[in-house]
Structure 1
């Protein structure tokens, strides 16, 4: 396995009704590298304690991979955005700390906003 590439964290980019959202990511080439990046992110206790660390990547060798981490459908939102940008071999992780109030469909708009912020930053 190649060494972990630099994990870029934009930190908290959005707050809504007590929930906080952050976005991170890095280049990856395999599922093993995705797992290593998630592990590295969760070494930070605040990310380890997050309610959800939703992620997705389009791997050139094996296609799309995603993990909803309890936020059903959020991984597919990230995949669709990566496909539109034709960004392969790059992992994007959207982290949510639940604030106590359900956000309904707004949570998907927030995932989109986080991914857009990340894509604009790379």
Structure 2
């Protein structure tokens, strides 16, 4: 498990080498790593000062049952307060990239098949 945490730190370090990402007002991230041998998940999140955004991002990943993925959403304050809408924008951004990269079916595919997104067990492991 320590190996995975080190990999997360390494990925973040590499991202922060990019000056634009490093200068973001908030770099919100969450990750979920499936540990097959223990039948559990190593998961955590960080909201980087955007209160509750990391937890909401992790919750989205749990609902979509994504595995072995880390999502980072960078946000720059542009002078306009977004209020609660900021969470919608953060999660939409994350969901779009997860669909685009094939980690979860698109909303259209889910609707077409008649299936509902699966809710994972509420067991949280760090």
CA contact (8 A) 1:56 1:91 kept: yes
Larger radius of gyration: 2
**Which structure exhibits the higher relative contact order, with contacts defined as CA atoms closer than 8 Å and separated by 6 or more residues?**
1
Unaligned runs of 5+ in 1: 1-28
Runs of 4+ in 1 over 6 A off after TM superposition: none
Out of 48, 51, 56, the position equivalent to 2:25 is: 51
Aligned position for 1:106: 85
- Separation in structure 1 between the aligned mates of residue 92 and residue 20 of structure 2, nearest angstrom: 21
> How many equivalent residue pairs?
94
Report the TM-score, using the length of structure 2 for normalisation: 0.69
The structure with the largest strand share of the pair is 1
Give the 3-state SS of the residue equivalent to 2:56 in structure 1: helix
Aligned CA RMSD, in angstroms, stands at 1.4
Unaligned runs of 5+ in 2: 36-40, 102-126
Report the TM-score, using the length of structure 1 for normalisation: 0.71
Return the offset for 1:51. 0.5
Equivalent residues in 2 for 1:52-71 (5 A)? Answer: 52-61=26-35, 63-71=42-50
- Separation in structure 2 between the aligned mates of residue 94 and residue 85 of structure 1, nearest angstrom: 17
